[in-house]
Amino acid sequence: MADFRFHVPADCFIGQDALYKLPLVLEGGPERALLVADPGLTDAKMTERLSSVLEGRGIQLISFDDLGDRPSSASVEDGVSLARGARAPLVIGVGGVRTMHIAKAIASLTPGDSTVDAWMDGEPPLRPPLPLALVPTSYRDPFLLSGGLILTDARTGGATFLQARRGVEAAVILDPNAFAGMSAKAAAASLLDGAMAAIEGYASARDGFLSDMALREAIGLYIKALDISIQRPEDPQARVDAARACFLTGLGLAASSPGLGTAVSFAINARWGVPKANLAAVMLPYVLESLSRSRPEKIAALAPLFCEVDADEGAAGAAARAVESMRTRLGLLKIPSRLNDFDLALERLVETAEAARRFDFMNFLPRTMTVDDVFDFIKTVY
């Protein structure tokens, strides 16, 4: 066996009211911090809670929530200018995946004079990033602990994958109370999105013993949370399980890699604005079917997490039962089953296939895929 090395320096707090522990990781007592927040969080009282926690410790928050519907690289450019002008020594990101990635880019670019356009053109920032604390408000981010991020390029409208320095995430706070603002359908889609990334990492060509342990447990927790939310949408246990699953997925994918469904959903979201979680919910059974062909033993090993399995039916049969079980859950949730339900034109999705194939993590798929192969997958889901 090859030598194994793994390093995740982030302080991670997971549990009810974990948000109140954020000051514990802010040793040195910074006087101010840049708060990158989803605009919609004002209604959910999240920013007010965070402000009361930090301002009570004498930390002035400089709010930046000008994210809107514009390309995320434009938001990064404005956020970096604000952080540099305010000389903020700390960045805090609160919100969904898009906000987490914008905050990660701002923390990476603020020191020095690098620009987001130069980074997307292949010139990463050279100076160490500002300390970054992340408070997710959804159940998933495949790059939570790996330094990865995806931005929409304001110049082209396409998605670009960037790799920040490992360890850019100084702290991650996973508080189930932060997830309470989602509707039942949005929560279910978010759970399915997280499960898809975890399944892809479990079947990745980059998998290993650590990722297998973390991601298998994460998948089980996502499915358990999904089943609870289907039967009892208000049960807080679903949010607790989802918070743990989110952490384990970030941990596992820091040692492994997401895959095809993650790449395609990010690429479509960047270009056409369809919510990524909704896309993932549609694609998950097709991803499972594809992985059942390329790594049937892996999907068969996951099958008991989805449904009861007969030990005599073999890997192919167990994998098929897992796919069918997932389709049954989607039927109960009344999730769209095809990409054309989002009014996407198939001929325009060729560029989506090209954008998805360019992501670096696509080099770790269970089988090598060309742009044509990616487009064939899109056509199958369409």
Tens digit of each residue's pLDDT (9 = 90 or more) over 247-286? 999 999 999 999 999 999 999 999 999 999 999 999 999 9
Rg (CA), the chain: 20
Query: Is residue 333 a part of any domain in this protein?
Result: yes
Residues 141, 45 share a domain: yes
Specify the number of domains making up the chain: 2
Residues 206, 165 share a domain: no
Residues 212, 79 share a domain: no
Query: Is residue 252 a part of any domain in this protein?
Result: yes
Query: Is residue 109 a part of any domain in this protein?
Result: yes
Domain boundary among 178, 197, 223: 178
pTM of the model: 0.94
Q: Give me the CATH number covering residue 118.
A: 3.40.50.1970
Residues 55, 29 share a domain: yes
Q: Which of 195-209, 240-254, 274-288, 300-314 shows the lowest per-residue confidence on average (mean pLDDT)?
A: 300-314
Q: Give me the CATH number covering residue 238.
A: 1.20.1090.10
**In the prediction, which pLDDT does 1 show?**
46
Residues 217, 149 share a domain: no
Query: Is residue 5 a part of any domain in this protein?
Result: no
**In the prediction, which pLDDT does 42 show?**
58
Query: Is residue 123 a part of any domain in this protein?
Result: yes
Residues 283, 234 share a domain: yes
Residues 123, 62 share a domain: yes
Q: Please, what is the average pLDDT of the chain?
A: 92
Q: What are phi and psi of 173, to 5 degrees?
A: -115, 115
Query: Is residue 362 a part of any domain in this protein?
Result: yes
Query: Is residue 275 a part of any domain in this protein?
Result: yes
Tens digit of each residue's pLDDT (9 = 90 or more) over 62-110? 999 888 778 999 999 999 999 999 999 999 999 999 999 999 999 999 9
Residues 97, 45 share a domain: yes
Residues 213, 150 share a domain: no
Structure confidence at residue 29 as a pLDDT band (50, 70, 90)? low
The residue among 46, 62, 53 whose CA lies nearest residue 23 is 53
Residue 60 has pLDDT above 80, yes or no: yes
Structure confidence at residue 43 as a pLDDT band (50, 70, 90)? low
User: How many Cα neighbours within 13 Å face the side chain of 380?
Assistant: 16
Query: Is residue 207 a part of any domain in this protein?
Result: yes
Residues 195, 149 share a domain: no
Owning domain of residue 51 = 11-178
Residues 228, 90 share a domain: no
Residues 265, 134 share a domain: no
Domain boundary among 178, 210, 240: 178
Domain boundary among 178, 196, 231: 178
Tens digit of each residue's pLDDT (9 = 90 or more) over 350-359? 999 999 999 9
